[in-house]
Amino acid sequence: MKRPIRFILIALCCLSFGRLVAQLSPEQPQRALYGNTGTILTPTGYLSPDGQLAFGVSYIPQGYTQINRREPLWRGDRVIYANLGLLPFLEITFRLTSPDGSKNNFGIGDRSLFLRGRITKEKKILPAIAIGLHDVVGVVGYHHVAYLVGSKSFALSPSTQLVLSAGYGTKIIKNVPNTYLQGFFGSASWRWKFVSLNAEYDAKKVNAALYIRVLKKIDFHLAYLDLKKWSGGVSMQLKLLK
């Protein structure tokens, strides 16, 4: 319980810096724990802005990782990622995942590339729709999936939004061990200025999370996976092109 308590205390301190926060919006979407734009573990139809670089770290606890290890000292997976909005219609995420506590030789970790492309941009009636290809060139394919996802935001007040997303994922290569995003998934996010309360179904389980953006560049993510175990992460975003 120490990790989530520390996270909550840090987040509460950050809330006092009202002038330094930036509002969450489809133009500046939040990132999932794996680094791509998304909710908690599921993606959304929004993409990172063109020319924006984000990098961060997150932690996935034992029992909810894609790299499953049966070792007494293994506690979960550390995830390091870099996310880039390369073009107005393309997003790239490079992810490195290493087992925490593993004594077996795992090298520098599992490397994978996530590609996401925009099909439609959100308009008054039309939702934002994106296609994603995750880990399609890797050797093992722990996160291998192809999916289609759509998102729509609804303004509840000048500072409050409700964002709904739904999608479907499947494998392209059938013999990979991945069980991530296999089937229908969806999420809902209630956003007030710089705070987002999230709930999702990731095709296997229900997750909940708190997401906070401070200093206009730093995002904190506290998640409750399967409503049983804590997870979380932190990321920073930089604008390379203006």
* Domain ranges for the chain: 2-239
What are the residues whose beta carbons fall under 8 Å from the beta carbon of 3, sequence distance 6 or more? 230, 232
Contact 95, 34 (CB under 8 A): yes
Query: What count of other Cβ atoms lies within 10 Å of the Cβ of residue 109?
Result: 16
Write down the pTM of the prediction.
0.84
Kind and range of the H or E run holding 10: helix 2-15
The pLDDT of residue 18 is 45
Tell me if residue 66 falls in helix, strand or coil: coil
What architecture is domain 2-239? Beta Barrel (2.40)
What are the residues whose beta carbons fall under 8 Å from the beta carbon of 212, sequence distance 6 or more? 11, 14, 15, 194, 195, 196, 219, 220
**Helices assigned H by DSSP within 131-196:** none
- The list of the chain residues with pLDDT below 70 reads 1-27, 67-74, 101-107, 138-139, 241-242
The pLDDT of residue 34 is 93
What backbone phi and psi angles, to 5 degrees, belong to 4? Answer: -65, -30
The pLDDT of residue 101 is 62
Contact 233, 33 (CB under 8 A): yes
